[in-house]
């Protein structure tokens, strides 16, 4: 699913982090690469879910946990301690 939607041309820098139409990801400009990787995993999870109405439900949590573990195993992400601030947003839990 993700492979068909994801393209490196669809990753952009903006003022906030979000996914548009499950095909484009925007990141706020942040100097902490690990927080950006966390946000990338979060937005990739949104791209993986078919249902636009799902939001952050059980399916999201299952896929997000899987992606975070894979990112950590690949050493592109280090587990973050909650809460933390990312681009002005308080993140309290995955
Ligand atoms: Zn989200």
Beta strand pairing status for 11-14 and 24-28? parallel
pLDDT (tens digit, 9 = 90+) per residue, 16-43?
Answer: 888 888 888 898 988 899 999 999 999 9
> How many structural domains compose the chain?
1
64 CA → ligand 1 middle, Å: 10
CATH number at residue 33: 3.30.2010
40 CA → ligand 1 middle, Å: 10
pLDDT score at 51: 75
84 CA → ligand 1 middle, Å: 16
72 burial (CB, 10 Å; 0-12 / 13-18 / 19+) is middle
Question: Rounded to an integer, what distance in angstroms lies between the CA atom of residue 21 and that of residue 55?
Answer: 13
Q: What is the pTM of this model?
A: 0.84
pLDDT score at 15: 84
Domain that holds residue 66: 2-91
74 CA → ligand 1 middle, Å: 22
Query: Which of the 8 DSSP states describes residue 74?
Result: T
pLDDT score at 1: 58
Taking the chain (94 residues) in consecutive chunks of 10 residues, what is each chunk's mean pLDDT?
A: 68 84 87 93 89 80 95 96 91 84
11 CA → ligand 1 middle, Å: 16
């Amino acid at each position: 699913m993700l492979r068909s939607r994801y393209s490196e041309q669809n990753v952009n820098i903006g003022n906030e982090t979000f996914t548009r139409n499950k095909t484009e990801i925007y990141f706020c400009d942040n100097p902490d690469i690990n927080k950006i990787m966390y946000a990338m995993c979060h937005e990739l999870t949104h791209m993986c879910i078919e249902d636009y109405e799902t939001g952050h439900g059980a399916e999201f949590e299952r896929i997000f946990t899987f992606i975070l573990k894979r990112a950590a195993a690949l050493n592109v992400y280090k587990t973050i301690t909650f809460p933390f601030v990312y681009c002005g947003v308080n993140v309290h839990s995955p």
